[in-house]
Structure 1
Amino acid sequence: MSTNFTISSAVENILVELEVQRKKIVSSKMQGWSSIILGVICFGIGCVLSQVILAIVGFVIVIPGAIILFRISDDVAQYKSRFKQEVVGAALSSVDKTLTLDPNRGILESEFRSSQLFTTSPDRYSTEDLIRGTIGKTSFYFAEVHAEYKTEVQTKSGRQVTWHDILKGIVFTADFNKNFNGVTVVRPKDFGSKIGAWFSKNVYSFGDKNVVELENEDFSKNFVTYSNDQIEARYILTPAMMEKINDLNQRSANAISLSFIDTRMYIAFPLDKNYFEPPVFKTLLKPDLLDDDMSVLAFMYDIVRELDLNTRIWTKQ
């Protein structure tokens, strides 16, 4: 699947409409923020110079700016919704008729927890942009997830709360066509990376006795594997599978994490940007507009091919 995505003429027409809407939003935002900034400056100068009238004028100027920004929020929401439904949705359908996008749904928090990809339980959780599809015999879905945990420290000025990312990225899951008896989890071995926080609070009972020793040196350098069924873990992680996971990890910008639970395989990809979102301060009318979004989709397709999930070597019992 090519990452240089060609936008259809029908989608181009929608983008022309949305570009007009985008420019109105930008104009209103500029007007609103200009009013607020000017008002704050006047208010600040008035306070410093003890000019009550100037301070009042500044306060009055801020109000219409705030109102403009408040009113434009509905237009921004509609703009984003149309882009996802009519542009990204149409683009996905043109690639594969089985693909669907639901901007308001994602990976349920309960499923996120039960995937056991993470050793930290989230205190704050959000998810969006659920994409479903089928490649050959393999059904899959993935969504953007932002899961965080908090730490609290007592300081002289009071209790300070700090939020830390567990995952900001994508969780992908696919039908593995196998009823697993146990749970097998493959996590990054690099404790020094920014995903080291995954190991900060041990939610599950995996310990040293659950570590699976595997005979792939490169794989063991990148990952640590846990399972409560050692035989099944080795059955899943064949030499060919470990090579493919290594290749997948090298192609990902950040270290991936995997789990095999019930009948499904889960993979977590930390990402540094939010996908499937329309630009607000940049034009929509550019040929490479959807290339990044489609590259994510292509990567998910490659997972099914790389891991050979369409080869039904097992049968569900």
Structure 2
Amino acid sequence: MAQDFISNPQIQPVLAELETLRKKIVSKQTQGWGAIAFGILLLIIAVAYSAVIIGVVVGAAAIIPGVVILYKISDEGALYKSRFKHEIIGAALSSIDQNLTINPNNGIAEEEFKFSQLFTQEPDRYHTEDLITGKIDKTAFYFAEVHAEYKTETQGKNGRQTHWHDILKGIVFTADFNKNFNGITVIRPKDFGATLGAWFSKNVYSFGNKNVVELENDGFNKNFVVYSTDQIEARYILTPALMEKINDLNSRSAYTVSLSFIDSRTYIAFPLDHNYFEAPVFKSLLKPDLLKNDMAILGFMYDIVHELDLNTRIWTKQ
């Protein structure tokens, strides 16, 4: 799919134009950082030979132009990245489905991130971008990249130190489940304590052993633990067919997924180790595999609605 998209005659002129801009940015960045490095080297040499004043003058003469070059090219770098997301990723989305759109500057609001009940360690630092929205039949959905972190502080011999830990670095997906849930049902990775230690450590709603839902699906129970404030509703949601679909979805993901069903929505978290939809700077835009990973994750997210049968509309909101 990625190669077919890249070879599209309508896309190739845009890629060629952006490739020219990319090369210009790389060239200017190389000049700028080269000048700065050369200036620092001259300063070090001058200090070593006790010629500090000369070193400062000569070093500054090289460093200042380098800084100016980097400053001037920064706007073109921002334009390049913006055009890549709007024109290339945007067109890639349309090639999958005309209803799919991207808004690079929007994402999943922090309040919704907390509301999902998936991430119960409240973030001290939160960033989200690349909101992608779509609709399949009557099912509206959206997803975005999220990087949420919390901090801890330790007192050492060198003073107080701050350490940052990931709550989630990945994608949060949400879709209309077409049913108003009475309770809250959360599906957590069985091994979340080892792989996602920050998750669920301080729950907004405190789940305990009495909230564990026992389900008769060994394959599902091997991967997940289910908690719910409404045992009957949880079993109504998690039919044997849906559990199989969640297992299938999980098997296609690099890391164990997590889900919640709250109000009338389902939330799914996908931990990832790659930042998607970013314009490469030191890699040609003209390579056939340019969008291989991006197209794969786009297709994967788009298929979730079908995987979980969210568009069958078997329930009616009340």
What's the TM-score, normalizing by structure 1? 0.96
**Residues 1:44 and 1:70: Cα distance change in structure 2 (over 3 Å):** same
Contact 1:44 1:55 in 2 (8 A): no
Tell me how far apart the structure 1 counterparts of residues 264 and 193 of structure 2 sit (CA, whole Å): 32
**Identity across aligned pairs (percent)?**
69
How far apart are 1:66 and its partner, in Å? Answer: 1.6
SS at the partner of 2:312?
coil
Matched with 1:261 is 262
Equivalents in 2 of 1:117, 1:4: separation in Å?
36
Provide the C-alpha distance between the structure 2 equivalents of 1:75 and 1:90, rounded to a whole number of angstroms. 21
Partner SS state of residue 268, structure 1: strand
Residue 20 of structure 1 corresponds to which residue in structure 2? Answer: 20
User: How many angstroms apart in 2 are the aligned matches of 1:3 and 1:89?
Assistant: 13
CA-to-partner distance for each residue in 1:4-26, whole Å, 9 max, x for gaps? 54232111111111011000000
Q: Which residue of 2 aligns with 1:30?
A: 30
Structure 1 residue 192, shift from structure 2 partner: 5.0
Aligned to 1:131: 132
Amino acid at match of 2:99: T
| Structure 1 pair 4–186 and aligned structure 2 pair: CA distance change class (3 A) | farther
Deviating more after overlay: 191-200 vs 89-98: 191-200
Is the contact made by 1:5 and 1:288 (CA closer than 8 Å) also made in structure 2? Answer: no
1:40 maps to 2:65: no
Q: Matched residue of 2:10: which SS?
A: helix
CA separation of 1:186 and 1:3: change in aligned 2, threshold 3 A: farther
Q: Note the C-alpha offset of 1:102.
A: 0.6
Rounded Cα–Cα distance in structure 2 between residues aligned with 1:128 and 1:102: 8
Distance in 2 of aligned mates of 1:265 and 1:277: 27
Q: For structure 1, which segment, 167-176 or 93-102, has the greater mean C-alpha deviation from structure 2 after superposition?
A: 93-102
Structure 2: segments with no counterpart, 5+ residues: none
What is the match of residue 82 of structure 1?
Answer: 83
Distance 2:89 2:44 in 1: 45
Correspondence list, 1:29-68, <5 A: 29-52=29-52, 53-68=54-69
- In 1, the alpha carbon distance for the partners of 2:37 and 2:2 equals 42
Structure 1 residues without counterparts, runs of 5 or longer: none
Q: Matched residue of 2:171: which SS?
A: strand
- Deviation track 1:212-247 (CA, whole Å, cap 9, x = no partner) reads 111111211211111101100011111111111111
Matches within 5 A, 1:156-175: 156-175=157-176
1:201 has 2:202 as partner: yes
Equivalent-residue separation in structure 2 for 1:95 and 1:197 (angstroms): 35
Instruction: Give the Å deviation of 1:59.
Output: 3.3
1:38 and 1:194, CA in 2 relative to 1: closer, same or farther beyond 3 A? Answer: farther
TM-score scaled by length of structure 2: 0.95
Counterpart AA for 1:66? V
Q: Distance in 2 between matches of 1:203 and 1:47?
A: 57
Deviations 1:85-134 (A, max 9, x none): 11111221232111111111010110000001112110010111111111
